[in-house]
Chain A
Amino acid sequence: MSDMLSAAFVTVFIATVIAQAMPLMLAAVGETLGEQAGVLNLGIEGVMLVGAYTGFVVTLTTGSFWIGMLGGAIGGVAANLAMLILNVWLGLNQIVIGLAITLIGEGITSVLYLQNYTKSPASLGQQPKLTLPGLSDIPVIGQALFQQSGIFWICILLTLGLAFALARTNWGLSTRSAGQKPSSLDAAGGSVMRTRSMAVLLSGALAGLGGAYLSLLTTATFSPFLTNGLGFIAIVITMLSRGRILVVMITSLVYGLAVAVGPALQVVGFTVPADIIKMLPFIIVIVMLIVFARSSVVPPALGAPYTRGAR
């Protein structure tokens, strides 16, 4: 018991929770923006992988994690362009396009990674170094919280900013109306296409950021199929949070806790099979879905392409 509560252990535990929660949070915030605007992106798994891979490659070549994160965001936007053009503009089936993006994202990142980085593993060696410009390392147990990289804080600020913008600004209102009743947005003089396009691009950038956070900060390396279903968990969290970004943040933390418990138990001496650790988040998600089944609500116009004047 004394082992469990030692300061170092708690520090590591909290750091793990945050490291696991952040990629999911960013992706789920992105998915929330898209869904609120009426676009369900099932391709988020692929978008995250593309972001993770581009972030990894850019960091490897430039040596800067900041530029790497930016690269991840750009990669995410690029991957989501297919959704923008085919679904928002042409009004094609979201499910099919989303799955196509996931499959292509999984396939191409795996092929490229295995082609470029397995033959020369030397280049991998320099990657896992993490620079942590400590913002404040004064608190005792809060070391875990306040010795994060600046990227962590930027991501938190970005999320809080989006939470405010979605709930309180004109932009947020038009985004939500594009998902609730696009025709009313149209009637009020707004452009459904522009609003949705903006939301989809932002959503891609955030999912890409989430992927890059995963490969750069959480695992500090890329591997094929790195996300392992994280994108789909992000969709579940989005459904359960009903468009409230603060709820997304809290649910992501719960997920982080669930993932961190496995390794923590191992430190204490319980050996938990790796398969159970992998399964745990999904079990928690399905339990959450069963318990909160009534409250998983999506916007009415979700998935419906908007055609002006069509009934």
Chain B
Amino acid sequence: MKPTGSAPRLAQGLVRSVVPVLLALLVSGLIMLAIGAHPLDFFAGVWKYGITGSNWQRSLSLMSPLLIVAIGLIVAFRGQLWNLGYNGQYLLGAVVASGLGPMLFAVMPAFLATIIVFIVAILAGAVWSLIPALLKARYGTNEIITSLVMSFIAVGVVNLLIKGVFKDPGTSTPQTTVIPDTDLLPYIPGTEIHIGFVLAIVLAIVAQYVLSRTSFGLRVDIFGASPKAARHMGLNSTWMVILLFALSSGLIAFAGSIDILGQFSYQRADWDPRYGDAVMPLVFLARFRPVAAIPFVAFYAVLATGGTLASQQAGLNVDFLLVIVGLILLFMTVTEYIGERRRLGQSYLPPGLRRSLPVPLRAESERTPV
């Protein structure tokens, strides 16, 4: 039953990835009708404010943090590690850029300062993921919960930093010092898209290569499919968990710092764009392939860019985007189910990942005698 040619396989994959999105948009339109909003105004608004004029450039700018968050999630998810602490990790990276950035830009050339900010942001993210990673590796504690809890703590820490040491003394609102335009990431010549976009695309291609064409990628997949098999192969699962978590969390923090240095130039307290929530379903739809995530991220970037204004016009709140994202997730699982039933092609997930809950590493070896 499995299709052999790459063209039909691609077509089927496309159908099964696009159908959930269409269904989610349709149902979200119905929900809008039900609560008295205007779906047509909304979608027209998304088109108008997300694409037309020079708005497409804003959408592409938004793509760069989203895509890097997506790559970060893919790295962890491939290893069957559910890093859901993305919101906190993202904000940590952002606050490194918005807090440390102004101090560094004041004393050294912008290029050097940018590099240092990126490195510190990545390290901050990686270090923050150590607790969930160690608990998972040592005791098999569910990393979904630990990473989420650490995320809530990170949000608090970031707010304290912005209201404390990083606060701009010049304003009364709790926010960091605005970084001057000259120190921000440069634009791609002829556009208003910062080079973070190029960086993100390059990162996606590199990640795709590493994950699918190198021995490291193979190890990640084996580890994800079956930690037990990985152990038999001689993989050190403790290090694997720590490394994947650090990579994932570091990348997500990197996305935060790029967003500040490329677009926002300062950070307010209590600001939390929650990019990860939106990106997560896209990552599933892309079947954990970084390059395949690009079109989905582009779609969401347009939806989010246009949706902010469009939702106001349609009589909605921006939080409605969360509903759309949730519906995409739901319809994804349903499409997956029907696809599986009718054997329309491969699953979203490699077989080992389809077992829905990550089995604790240590506990598994104790419980199931071989």
How far apart are B195's CB and chain A's nearest CB, in angstroms? 32
How far apart are A100's CB and chain B's nearest CB, in angstroms? 4
**A110 CB-CB contact with B under 8 Å:** yes
A-contact bits for B340-362, CB 8 A (1 contact / 0 none):
00000000010000111100100
Q: What is the number of contacts between chain A and chain B, taking CB atoms within 8 Å?
A: 154
- Given known contacts A92-B333, A106-B322, A278-B156, A273 and B163 CB-to-CB distance under 8 angstroms: yes
How far apart are A137's CB and chain B's nearest CB, in angstroms? 38
CA distance A93 to B153 in the complex (A): 28
- Given known contacts A115-B317, A236-B145, A302-B357, A96 and B326 CB-to-CB distance under 8 angstroms: no
A110 touches B317 (CB 8 A): yes
**B106 CB-CB contact with A under 8 Å:** no
Q: Which of B35, B321, B330 touches A97 (beta carbons < 8 Å)?
A: B330
Residue on A nearest B31 in the bound complex, by CB: A108
Interface-forming stretch among A146-154, A203-211, A291-299? A291-299
How far apart are B236's CB and chain A's nearest CB, in angstroms? 20
CA distance A224 to B320 in the complex (A): 12
Would you call the interface of chain A mostly helix, strand, loop, or mixed?
helix
- Given known contacts A82-B330, A92-B336, A99-B329, A286 and B141 CB-to-CB distance under 8 angstroms: no
B-contact bits for A89-112, CB 8 A (1 contact / 0 none):
011111111011111111110111
A72-129 contacts to B, CB under 8 A, are 82, 86, 90-97, 99-108, 110-112, 114-115
A293 touches B141 (CB 8 A): yes
CB-CB under 8 A from A86, the residues of chain B are 330, 333-334
B323 touches A111 (CB 8 A): yes
CA distance A115 to B35 in the complex (A): 9
How far apart are B87's CB and chain A's nearest CB, in angstroms? 10
A100 touches B327 (CB 8 A): yes
B56-104 contacts to A, CB under 8 A, are 82, 84
CB-CB under 8 A from A105, the residues of chain B are 326
A224 touches B319 (CB 8 A): yes
Q: Which of B148, B163, B337 touches A92 (beta carbons < 8 Å)?
A: B337
Contact-residue size bin, chain B (C-beta under 8 Å from the other chain) = 35 or more
Residue on A nearest B319 in the bound complex, by CB: A110
Q: Which of B280, B325, B326, B367 touches A101 (beta carbons < 8 Å)?
A: B326
Interface-forming stretch among B3-11, B131-139, B247-255? B131-139
B144 touches A95 (CB 8 A): yes
CA distance A229 to B155 in the complex (A): 12
CB-CB under 8 A from B267, the residues of chain A are none
**B19 CB-CB contact with A under 8 Å:** no
B322 touches A279 (CB 8 A): no
A284-311 contacts to B, CB under 8 A, are 285-286, 289-290, 293-294, 296-298, 300, 302-305
Residue on A nearest B353 in the bound complex, by CB: A93
How far apart are B86's CB and chain A's nearest CB, in angstroms? 12
**A282 CB-CB contact with B under 8 Å:** yes
Residue on A nearest B341 in the bound complex, by CB: A90
- Given known contacts A115-B315, A273-B160, A298-B142, A95 and B323 CB-to-CB distance under 8 angstroms: no
Q: Which of A104, A282, A300 touches B152 (beta carbons < 8 Å)?
A: A282
B-contact bits for A233-251, CB 8 A (1 contact / 0 none):
1011001000000000000
CA distance A42 to B159 in the complex (A): 26
CA distance A233 to B316 in the complex (A): 30
CB-CB under 8 A from A285, the residues of chain B are 149
A-contact bits for B155-196, CB 8 A (1 contact / 0 none):
011011001000000000000000000000000000000000
Residue on B nearest A46 in the bound complex, by CB: B326
A111 touches B320 (CB 8 A): yes
**A40 CB-CB contact with B under 8 Å:** yes
Number of interface residues of A (CB under 8 A): 55
B330 touches A111 (CB 8 A): no
CB-CB under 8 A from A294, the residues of chain B are 139
How far apart are B190's CB and chain A's nearest CB, in angstroms? 38
**A222 CB-CB contact with B under 8 Å:** no
A210-233 contacts to B, CB under 8 A, are 224, 229, 232-233
B163 touches A107 (CB 8 A): no
B319 touches A303 (CB 8 A): no
B329 touches A97 (CB 8 A): yes
**A276 CB-CB contact with B under 8 Å:** yes
CB-CB under 8 A from A100, the residues of chain B are 281, 326-327, 329-330, 333
A236 touches B323 (CB 8 A): no
Residue on A nearest B329 in the bound complex, by CB: A100
How far apart are B281's CB and chain A's nearest CB, in angstroms? 8
**A283 CB-CB contact with B under 8 Å:** yes
CA distance A106 to B317 in the complex (A): 12
**B303 CB-CB contact with A under 8 Å:** no
A275 touches B159 (CB 8 A): yes
CA distance A234 to B363 in the complex (A): 22
B135 touches A111 (CB 8 A): no
- Given known contacts A100-B329, A296-B139, A282 and B317 CB-to-CB distance under 8 angstroms: no
How far apart are A94's CB and chain B's nearest CB, in angstroms? 5
Q: Which of A112, A236, A293 touches B149 (beta carbons < 8 Å)?
A: A236
A296 touches B142 (CB 8 A): yes
Residue on A nearest B135 in the bound complex, by CB: A293
Q: Which of B139, B149, B319 touches A107 (beta carbons < 8 Å)?
A: B319
B139 touches A293 (CB 8 A): yes
> Known pairs A282-B156, A296-B142. 5 more at Cβ < 8 A?
A104-B323, A107-B325, A111-B319, A275-B159, A293-B139
**7 chain-A/chain-B pairs, Cβ below 8 angstroms:** A92-B356, A95-B357, A100-B329, A235-B145, A236-B149, A275-B159, A286-B150
Q: Which 6 A-B pairs have the closest CB atoms?
A: A303-B357, A107-B322, A279-B156, A104-B326, A103-B326, A100-B329
A interface list, Cβ under 8 A from B? 40, 42, 82, 86, 90-97, 99-108, 110-112, 114-115, 224, 229, 232-233, 235-236, 239, 273, 275-276, 278-279, 282-283, 285-286, 289-290, 293-294, 296-298, 300, 302-305
